[in-house]
Amino acid sequence: MNKAARTPWYFLTPNLVIFGVFTFLPIVINFYYAFTGGVQLYPQDRPYVGWDNMATLLDCKNYWDVSTCRKDLFWRAVWNTAYFSVLQVVLMILFSLITALVLNRKIIGRGFWRGVFFYPVLLSPVVVSLIWKWILQRDGLLNAIVVAIGGEPVLWLGEPEWAFFWVTFVSIWSQMGFYTLILLSGLQAIPADLYEAAQMDRASPWRTLWRITLPLLMPNMIVVGVLGAIRAVQTFDNVFVLTGGGPGSATMFVVQYIYQTAFQEQIRLYGIAAAGSLLLALALIVLTLLQLRVTKAESAGERAK
Amino acid sequence: MASLELKKIIKDFGETRVIHGVDLQVDDGEFVVFVGPSGCGKSTLLRLICGLEHASSGDIFLEGERVNDVRAADRGLAMVFQSYALYPHMTVYQNMAFGLENMGLPKAAIKAKVGEAAKLLRLDTLLERKPTQLSGGQRQRVAIGRAIVREPKIFLFDEPLSNLDAELRVSMRSEITGLHRRLGSTMIYVTHDQVEAMTMADKIVVLRQGRIEQVGSPLELYNRPANRFVAGFIGSPQMNFLPVRSEAGSRLATTFGTAFSLDIESGLAEGKTYMLGVRPEHLSLEESPGALSLALKVVEVEQLGGHCLIYGMLPDGNTRITLHCEGQQSTQIGDAVVVYAPPANCHLFEKDGEERTIR
Amino acid sequence: MKLVSYLTATRGRSRLHWTDWLTYAYLCVGLFLMFGPVLWLVASSFKTEAALSEFPPTLLPYGQKSVMVPGEEKPKPVFRVKLPDGTMKELPEIRRIGLMATYVDPAKPEEPIRVNIKDRQPVREFRLATENYSDLMRKLDFGKYLWNSVFITIVATVITLLFNSMAAFALSKYQFRGRSGVFLFIIATLMVPPAIVLVPNFLVVTELGLLNSLWAVIWPAVATPTGVFMLRQYMLTIPDELLEAARMDHASEWQIYWRIMLPLSAPALAVLAIFSIMWRWNDFLWPLIVLSKAEKFTLQLALNAFQGDLITQWNYLLAMTVITLLPVTVVFAFLQKHITQGIASAGVK
């Protein structure tokens, strides 16, 4: 290669080396871990076990009943994650959409209000969880309000259903602003003359919303849905600090399961953890492909029109 | 010695050939203008000379030295870009000094050179400004200044005036030619505007589709265009063309009946179709002996005060003829007029692929 | 009157429609819900330990009033005392033995009054318990954690900007074989969530001897695909003629990058810098895995370790949380517009 042809590679090298060492290489090693057993960290000390790790994780008599599974905690985490992701993404889209529609109206100080909803996005998951833990604790602000209006104090994070609710609530609270922003920029990209035309066509505001705004916003909503789902499936820090996965395993999610299996137990089962992350990766790949599929269908639909 | 010499230059971009074997010689101190319609390869040729593109084959010689493999920066040329390419984050001074700094010149020398160039271009009061704070003409002068400080063997200009408004373009034109006279250096200038080419050049190179059509001084090109393309490209308004048929005794007949004779040394084959070309300014409303008469129906009149342009349709119904006449005329749209083309000012072109000039 | 008409005026109509009222109601609920918890945290962080354990909590931080008494070294707490003659008076308490406490009237210091502690109420006033913050600095290794967080954030951000802009420069301004391959490779890593390579990355970091070193957090984080992508898109808009002019000006390729591309990419670099600061400052899972020694903890880890203790000292924890969210808040307050626009245009986080 002559000198001119080498130049771009000089500029690329630092980035590519880091990518290779900390992203590409680990992906390869992850497969190795997933197919070897034992508790040793170093690859040369690990015996080959083939699909055993995977089989252990997937060993269930009845997939709908986690207590029949060999790794019941893993399946509890899987179901929790699935339930959480669906609930969180649906509610997130709903609230982001309402907020974006409100912010898109002619309001005084739009920049300020946009900032208000966006602010929690910047806070670290740990900080967010601590803020809410402080409010939700037994002698916290929320119970004070409940008592003030004549109710009985509740252990918000001590009862499984409530804990699950608050985990979902807090994660929506902390991320909603980001998705609102995506939807808002989508709304602002809709040409104003379409609304003027709708007005001339005597469309009611309600009809305008259903027949013009929402269909045109669909691509952005799909982006929000998929991005939200990809993140929801990987939820960890928020929940870990807020509930630690408890009470019991009511809020235990897949990433926390991987983390605990590999780093928190006395016996560190790296193989099981790696197999678990491969399954998680599989779920993410499916989600990503789904996104590509949907966006493709969407653009094909656009052309067909 | 020739300042620049191109030998059989070919340039391909992937599958497409944009320069088809160009040979050219530029003498020391000449002001050469590359002119042609957009896409003719004139800018590519300039970029090949300056080293920003590499020729697919052929040789480039600067002052007798082959420079095909010499980096752009080391060829000792300076380029003024169409968009000026001023570094937006640097002041006027820094813009002009950047290249000298890179060459490792001492600070004092840089300061002297930049000061000198700034004075020459009347930029001395603007040295601390950023490009965004300058007017179009001032930016243009900074771009030229950046070239001047490097004392290049050849100045290259890539359509430098195309971003300016008409009035400024005229004054910058004379500013650049004035600069050429003062510096006496070789300049190569690319434009699509034939007026710029005519007014500025010592030598014009007319390009079309990657080939040189003609090289010559402005008046040579005007008086003796090599082919119909050059004839049509040089001169404004464009030369009029009408098909004629040759008859016996080197007489030529138009498709609608009138005829006249042209004095042609080699003579003409009988019964062949040719293209006759007459410039609008050579047509006249007054009869002259031996002239070809053309009956026109006036379709448009442009009164410009000092002169006027009359557009008329020939009896065949699809050939438009432009007539340039001095002063003001009372001709109206719809009038029938007869115009005369004196044989001395008529050009005759082959009616084939190349359309070479016969006369 | 004028103010009311200004506030009720919208751009389109002269009077507020009922939907406008609904809009503002929604926004105000949003304001309360989004900022309320943070304000409550800040207010709580200024309460004393005793005030924090009160239920129901007071809205604002209160502390017991205290005054200086002549002849005593320290300020003495003030109580509302029922005097033997039945009148109520606010007096500083000098000492207390068993059920009896001794008070003194500053007007008549020579006459101490002894009262049963049943007959007194502490006098409270608005007071910020700033000792929560000052104690943090002294008692805990807070300075250490803060330094670790700041070090990681700044160093990682600088390296991120450098490496990513170099790669983006190569990918946007050079034609070379393998360019689209490299670009696809980098974009594909956007799809690999860090959670998935936790175990092998732990091995890599261990092998490199980086465990329990701040560099274990920095190095894996600096080659962000988001950054490369964002900067590349921006650099594509910088005209090639500028680079050609620089090449004619004898600039080396490094000089073109350093003196032309970097300054001209400043807006995109600023957005990436803000992102990077936020990412690194808020990082949690990865530092949790590779930094296990307390002296290497970042603020986030310290917060987590602290709240996991058996007896949570909320007064310190809250103060620490406030300090942790402070930089992000300040950055946001000043750069709100850039951040929101940057995120809207990049569409990724």
pLDDT along chain A (305 residues), means of 10: 76 91 86 81 78 79 74 85 92 94 86 87 87 87 87 86 93 92 86 79 81 85 83 86 84 87 80 85 81 66 48
Q: What's the token pair of residue C24?
A: 């503002």
Among the ranges given (C114-118, C167-171, C307-311), the one the predictor scored with the smallest mean pLDDT: C307-311
Q: Strand B154-158 vs strand B186-191: parallel, antiparallel, or unpaired? A: parallel
Which residues 264-303 of chain A have a CB within 8 Å of chain C? 270, 273-274, 277-278, 280-281, 284-285, 288
Contacts for C160 with CB less than 8 Å, ≥ 6 apart: C221, C222, C223, C224, C227, C272, C276
The whole-chain average pLDDT of chain B stands at 89
CB–CB of B52 and C247 under 8 A?
Answer: yes
Strands ordered across the beta sheet of B16-27:
B16-27, B2-13, B57-62, B65-66
d(CA B26, CA C264): 38
Considering only CA atoms, which of B53, B50, B52, B39 is closest in space to residue B10?
A: B53
* Burial B34-52, CB ≥16 within 10 A → b, else e: bbbeeebbbbbbbbbbbbb
> Does position B117 have pLDDT exceeding 80, yes or no?
yes
Give pLDDT, residue A172. Answer: 94
Per the listing, tokens 């005084």 go with A108
Please enumerate in sequence order all residues whose Cβ is within 8 A of that of B113, keeping only pairs 6 or more positions apart, or say none: B100, B105, B149
Q: pLDDT tens digits, residue range B220-274?
A: 999 999 999 999 999 888 999 988 888 877 788 888 878 888 777 667 778 888 8
The answer for A 180-209 residues in CB contact with C (under 8 A) is 181-182, 184-185, 205
Task: Please state, rounded to an integer, the average pLDDT across all residues of chain C.
Answer: 81
Please choose, from the candidates C114, C113, C85, the residue with its C-alpha nearest in 3D space to the C-alpha of residue C100.
Answer: C114
- Residue C191 pLDDT > 60: yes
Which residues of A fall within a CB distance of 8 Å from C326? Answer: none
Of A27, A131, A234, the CB nearest to C197: A27
Using the predicted structure, report yes or no on whether residue C208 has a pLDDT greater than 80: yes
Instruction: Report d(CA A115, CA B318) in Å as an integer.
Output: 67
Task: State how far the Cα of A24 lies from the Cα of C189, in Å rounded to an integer.
Answer: 8
Query: Burial of B120 by CB count in 10 Å (0-12 exposed, 13-18 middle, 19+ buried)?
Result: middle
Are the C-beta atoms of A116 and A203 separated by less than 8 Å? Answer: no
- Omega before residue A14 within 30° of 0, cis: no
Residue A267, min C-alpha distance to chain C (Å): 14
- A194 touches A212 (CB < 8 A): yes
Nearest-Cα residue of chain C relative to residue A236: C285
Tokens 């060999």 belong to A70
Residue with tokens 């001897």: C209
Query: Sheet holding B320-326: strands in order across?
Result: B320-326, B307-313, B292-303, B336-341
Q: Given an 8 Å threshold on Cβ–Cβ distance, is C201 in contact with A22?
A: yes
Write out chain C residues lying below 8 Å of A178, CB-based: 343, 349
Q: Is the pLDDT of residue B112 over 90?
A: yes
Tell me how far apart the alpha carbons of residues B301 and B312 are, in angstroms, rounded to a whole number. Answer: 9
- pLDDT band of residue C14 (cuts 50, 70, 90) is low
C117 close to C74: Cβ distance less than 8 angstroms: no
Which domains does chain B carry? 2-233 (3.40.50.300), 240-350 (2.40.50.140)
CA C42 to chain centre: 11
> In this structure, are strands B31-35 and B203-208 parallel, antiparallel, or unpaired?
parallel
Whole-angstrom Cα distance, residue B191 to residue B80?
Answer: 12
Q: CA B92 to CA A274: how far, in whole Å?
A: 59
In angstroms, rounded to a whole number, what is the distance separating the alpha carbons of residues B234 and B215? 12
Most distant CA pair in chain A, distance: 81
List pLDDT tens digits, range A119-140: 898 888 888 998 998 899 888 8
Across the interface, whether the CB atoms of A14 and C166 are under 8 A apart is answered: yes
Burial class (CB in 10 A: 0-12, 13-18, 19+), C3: exposed
Structure tokens at B52: 């920003």
- Considering only CB atoms, which chain C residues are within 8 Å of B48? none
C85: buried, middle or exposed (CB in 10 Å: 19+, 13-18, 0-12)?
A: exposed
Give the DSSP letter of residue B311. E
The predicted model gives C167-173 an average pLDDT of: 93
Looking at the complex, report in whole angstroms how far the Cα of residue B50 sits from the nearest Cα belonging to chain C: 8
CA distance C294 to C212: 9
Chain B positions touching C247 (Cβ under 8 A) are 52, 71-73
The reply to whether residue B146 touches residue C249, judged by beta carbons under 8 angstroms, is yes
What string of DSSP letters covers C36-72?
HHHHHHHHHHTS-HHHHT-SSPPSS-EEE-EE--TT-
Name which of C241, C128, A198, C5 is nearest B156 in CA terms. C241
Q: Are A291 and A222 in contact (CB under 8 A)?
A: yes
C84 versus C210: the higher-pLDDT residue is C210
From the list C246, C259, C264, the residue facing B88 with the nearest CB is C264
Q: Which residue in C37, C56, C343 is closest to A132 by CB distance?
A: C37
A27, A28, A30, A17: which is closest to C219 by C-alpha? A17
**Which of C47, C206, C231, C340 has the highest number of chain A CBs within 10 A, making it the mutation to test binding with A?**
C340
Q: Cβ separation of B73 and C245 shorter than 8 Å?
A: no
Q: Which residues contact B152 (CB under 8 A, 6 or more apart)?
A: B76, B77, B78, B185
Q: Do A133 and C307 touch (CB under 8 A)?
A: yes
SS3 of B336, please?
strand
- B201 pLDDT above the threshold of 90: yes
CA distance B137 to B160: 10
With contacts defined as CB-CB under 8 Å, which chain A residues touch C280?
A: none
Looking at residue C216, its amino acid is A
What sign results for the dihedral spanned by CA atoms C186, C192, C197, C200?
negative
Q: CA-CA distance, C284 to A92, in Å (whole number)?
A: 23
Nearest to C300 by CA among B209, A168, A127: A127
Q: Which tens digits make up the pLDDT trace of B284-315?
A: 888 888 888 888 999 999 998 899 999 999 88
Domains along the sequence of chain A with CATH: 1-34 (no CATH), 72-304 (1.10.3720.10)
What does the pLDDT look like over B148-189, one tens digit per residue? 998 888 999 999 888 888 888 888 899 899 999 998 999 999
pLDDT of C15 strictly over 60: yes
CB contact under 8 A, C249 and B99: yes
The answer to whether the Cβ–Cβ distance between C340 and A115 falls below 8 Å is yes
Report B:30-59 residues touching C (Cβ under 8 A). Answer: 50, 52
Select from B49, B67, B82, B102 the residue whose CB has the most chain C CBs within 10 Å, as the one to mutate to test that interface.
B102
Confidence check: pLDDT of C167 > 90? yes
CA–CA dist A245, A263 (Å, integer): 15
Place of tokens 């894996």: C220
A117 chain-C contacts, CB cut-off 8 A: 30, 34
Q: How distant is the Cα of C92 from the closest Cα of chain A, in angstroms?
A: 31
**Cβ atoms within 10 A of the Cβ of A149, count?**
6
Q: Does C274 touch chain B (CB under 8 A)?
A: no
Among residues C82, C92, C87, C158, the alpha carbon closest in space to that of C120 is found at C82
The alpha carbon of residue A152 and the mean position of all alpha carbons in its chain are separated, in whole angstroms, by 33
Q: Least CB-CB distance to B102: which of C242, C250, C263?
A: C250
- How far apart, in whole angstroms, are the C-alpha atoms of residue B204 and residue C31? 71
Q: Is 50 exceeded by the pLDDT of residue C23?
A: yes
Tokens 């003495």 sit at which residue? C76
Place of tokens 């900080």: A127
Q: What is residue C346's predicted lDDT score, i.e. its pLDDT? A: 55
| Residue C153 touches partner A, C-beta closer than 8 Å | no
Closest to B152 (Cα-Cα) out of B70, B80, B85: B80
Contact residues on chain C for A134, CB-CB shorter than 8 A: 40-41, 44, 314, 318
